[in-house]
Chains A and B, each alone.
Chain A
């Protein structure tokens, strides 16, 4: 079943720029979808249509079968949790505890149920020891974890992440990857916009390539990431393991570094 569906969606910005042009896209329940493309390709505009922050100028977006046109952001956010690229745009409470409580209260949680949900979320995201800290004093990695935690707390069926790895160092990226993997493991639908193809590669997402407000093409990660020409035309850089496999004329790319090490060890 499609959890989100775009039908002939176009979006014209107030300055007249066509940010989306005739987009058709179905996102199925439980799938991992990557949306890639250069700056200005329309990726973030597309995401903002998923929870009603933006409404189409023409065409329709459906979330769990209901058209977004008549729905509020609050109603849609119950099903689709959006995590912004810049954590500072999402954080505003006085403490980590309150930050997580805010969304839950808005969705009607109260009393013991609210408290228990906050505590279990803090523990799951390894934020319990930071619960009294003002969120703005957290490190970049901690802020990103908190932003995902605030969204996951109310258990939306779809998690949408806009450039989750920007500004994250190696330990934070490793942690973020493990977190996303476990959310995928729970059967959640995950949509990720990212330039970081090395990060996306091991998640094997269905991949949509965007340029100039349009969907250029879509396919398996393998088919997209092995197409160097396509990636270059979309302002992207082929992951090194895909590039290596292609140069060696292999039919399929190395799925991981371990895979590449095994392949070479068997031949040198």
Chain B
């Protein structure tokens, strides 16, 4: 069995000046080379969990810290944020918040230049990342001229050149149209497969990413509400309580009493194959 790359052990955190913990009693792990989907309503504690992985909590955000968080075997509280930043690449909802250079290749090279890499090495790594993400032809272009999907790829390339072990994507598709969003999701799956990356994905749209996730962790009111394989989680009948939208095809199966304890058809084609052919409609 793979080892855990990110692990929360009895973790609770209360921001300074607040009385109620933002998250409490958190226990879960994300295995090396897997994709974990972190879902939950606004205010469920997702942002606090992400800040606890990249070390902003407790190194930048003060507060009461209980339990432990481990990233790649190291305790976050005992690890400097710059060291964590070398291991973890972040991709935000709006790529414009992390793209700022005048050309794509300069933007992708930015992190390496700051770390003092040799120009030759930088060139090699940038070319590799651009090729991997299918945007070599955009190298000389200004990021401001690119489409939203292309900007997401540029931001991702900027993370990948740093050779991270873990990629954290915070609602990377929410501003994208469904087709472009699907492309980003497939890209994430490819990265996991080809580079063996561990991926932590925060998303509202369960139907979009459930198919590629190895595990779903649902947060509600600062606690882990449910954790398991996607079809087990989606088969649960209390997901609305955690503020999540259920894809209509899954809601339909629940209303028709077709959900086994641990399995559900994830999309329309799967539904037709499982049930409708049997009923000969």
Contacts and interface: CB of A to CB of B under 8 A. Distances in A.
A169 B243 contact: yes
Contacts of A169: 40-42, 204, 243-245
Interface in B128-183: 145, 147-149, 171, 174-180, 182
Contact of A198 (B145, B248, B271): B248
Contacts of B279: 267-268
A260 interface: yes
Contact of A235 (B93, B171, B180, B269): B180
A244 interface: yes
A71 B276 CA distance: 57
B281 interface: yes
A126 to B, nearest CB: 16
Contact of B248 (A172, A232, A240, A265): A240
Interface string A169-188: 11111000000000000000
A139 to B, nearest CB: 5
Interface string A1-41: 00000000000000100000000000000000000011110
A247 B41 contact: no
Given A170-B240, A261-B255, A241 B41 contact: no
A170 B177 contact: no
Interface size class for chain B?
35 or more
Contacts of B207: 240
B211 interface: no
A175 to B, nearest CB: 11
A247 B281 CA distance: 11
B177 A39 contact: yes
Contacts of A15: 145
B268 interface: yes
Nearest to B147: A40
Nearest to B244: A170
B174 A166 contact: yes
B43 interface: yes
Contact of A265 (B148, B247, B256): B256
B191 interface: no
Contact of B149 (A39, A247, A261): A39
A236 B179 contact: yes
A239 interface: yes
A173 B248 CA distance: 14
Contacts of A40: 147-148
Given A169-B204, A236-B177, A236-B179, A247 B268 contact: yes
Contacts of B177: 37-39, 195, 235-236
Nearest to A265: B256
A257 B248 contact: yes
A39 B42 contact: no
A229 to B, nearest CB: 13
Contact of A172 (B42, B174, B252): B42
B31 interface: no
B249 interface: yes
A241 B248 contact: yes
B138 to A, nearest CB: 15
Contacts of A243: 268
A141 interface: yes
Contacts of A140: 42
Contact of B176 (A39, A257, A265): A39
A237 B179 contact: yes
Nearest to B242: A170
Given A15-B145, A240-B268, A173 B245 contact: yes
B254 to A, nearest CB: 10
Contacts of A268: 256, 279, 281
Interface string A231-263: 010011101110110011000000001001100
Interface string B106-119: 00000000000000
A172 B41 CA distance: 9
Given A15-B145, A195-B177, A244-B268, A170 B243 contact: yes
Nearest to B252: A260
Contacts of A235: 177-180
A167 B147 CA distance: 20
Closest 7 CB pairs of A and B: A237-B178, A235-B179, A169-B41, A38-B177, A170-B245, A235-B177, A240-B248
Interface of B: 40-43, 93, 145, 147-149, 171, 174-180, 182, 204, 207, 240, 243-245, 247-249, 251-252, 255-256, 267-269, 271-272, 276, 279, 281
Interface of A: 15, 37-40, 139-141, 166-173, 195, 198, 232, 235-237, 239-241, 243-244, 247-248, 257, 260-261, 264-265, 267-268
